[in-house]
Every structure is written in C-alpha cells, then in structure tokens.
C-alpha cells in the first residue's frame, strides 16, 4: 500500500502495476458513451494520465499540457482517466479546445482497483490518485509514476524521457 497526500493528509492507494508486466485490461467510458479498452490502443504507445477530477485546477492543467504534448509524441495516444462522468469530460474538452487526447471515465469499471490508483480512505475515497502509466504497442508497461502530492502536476518529463 502506498501513501499519497492532499494538503498534508495521508491517503492510501494499492500501488501501480510494475514495469515490464502486461498492463491490466480495462474498460473505460468515452465522451460518447462508447467503451475504450486496452485493445483499442494496441499498436500505439499509450500514456494513461490518471487523476481525481478535471474539475480541479491541477487536473485540468495536466489535460491541457498533455493535449499540447500529445502531438509531439510519435505513435502515442494519451488517455486522461478519472471518475468524471463522460458528459463533464466532454464539456471540459469542448470549452478548452482539447482535441489531441481522449478521456475515459472509470465510473462503471474496476480500473481504479486493477491499476492500484483508487484512493482507499480519507476525504477523496473512491476517486483516483494522480499517476502516469506508460504502455508500449504490445500492451506491456514501460513505466509508472505515482505523484505523492495529489495537488502537484505529474512529471511530464518522465513520459517524454521514457518515450524517446
């Protein structure tokens, strides 16, 4: 079990899958209510930008940043994953001109448990913590990054360096 912090308050998550392992299968709900799975992205490198909610400044900043960075990462797709409802994600993306990343809602899946990012206790219990998971074209995990402080942006350079 890993500890993440929100304004000094510790909360627990089970921890991310290990690099080198096959990525856990997932089913997430897209903005149009269709489903996205790991298989959807086979043949592409995939960055999972995981966070609590686009309705916070830091999470919104990460979506905007990955939207800009996605165009520079060859054969790579970015999937922004949260518990936000698909309708809220669609509104956010439309209002912010987000076109280079996709969103996936875990509101009806086991994604948080399977990827070890579901917050298990504290005031954010049930939401996802902030983390990055980078998956190769064949569905193997290249690397992961768990943000200890939920209120800080993820390590964008981690992704760029891993995908060089």
Number of structural domains, the chain? 1
- The two counts, helices (H) then strands (E), for the chain are 4, 9
Give the separation between CA 130 and CA 139, rounded to whole angstroms: 21
The residue among 129, 88, 84 whose CA lies nearest residue 106 is: 84
Q: Could you tell me the CATH number of the domain that includes residue 61? A: 3.40.30.10
pLDDT for residue 71 is more than 90: no
Q: What was the pLDDT predicted at 72?
A: 87
Q: Is pLDDT at 138 greater than 90 in this prediction?
A: yes
- Residue 109's pLDDT band, with cuts at 50, 70 and 90, is very high
Catalytic residue among 59, 80, 93, 147: 59
* pLDDT bracket for residue 5 (50, 70, 90): very high
Alpha helices in 46-151 (DSSP H): 57-70, 86-96, 111-114
| Beta-bridge mates of residue 144 | 133
In the residue annotation, 59 being an active-site residue is answered as yes
Sign of CA dihedral 101, 84, 30, 159: positive
Mean pLDDT for the chain overall? 95
Among 133, 151, 29, smallest CA distance to 88 is for 29
Percent of the chain residues topping a pLDDT of 70: 100
Domain range for 99:
2-162
pTM of the model: 0.95
């Amino acid at each position: 079990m890993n500890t993440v912090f929100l304004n000094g308050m510790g909360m627990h998550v089970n921890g991310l899958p290990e690099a080198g392992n096959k990525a856990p299968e997932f089913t997430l709900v897209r903005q149009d209510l269709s489903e996205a799975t790991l298989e959807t992205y086979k043949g592409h490198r995939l960055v999972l930008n995981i966070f609590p909610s686009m309705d916070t400044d830091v999470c919104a900043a990460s979506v905007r940043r990955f939207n800009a960075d996605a165009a520079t990462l060859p054969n790579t797709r970015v999937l922004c994953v949260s518990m936000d409802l698909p309708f809220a994600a669609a509104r956010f993306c439309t209002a912010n001109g987000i076109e280079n990343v996709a969103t996936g809602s875990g509101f009806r899946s086991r994604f948080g448990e399977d990827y070890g990012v579901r917050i298990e206790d504290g005031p954010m219990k049930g939401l996802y913590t902030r983390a990055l998971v980078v998956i190769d074209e064949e569905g193997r995990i290249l690397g992961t990054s768990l943000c200890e402080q939920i209120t800080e942006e993820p390590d964008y350079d981690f992704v760029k360096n891993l995908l060089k």
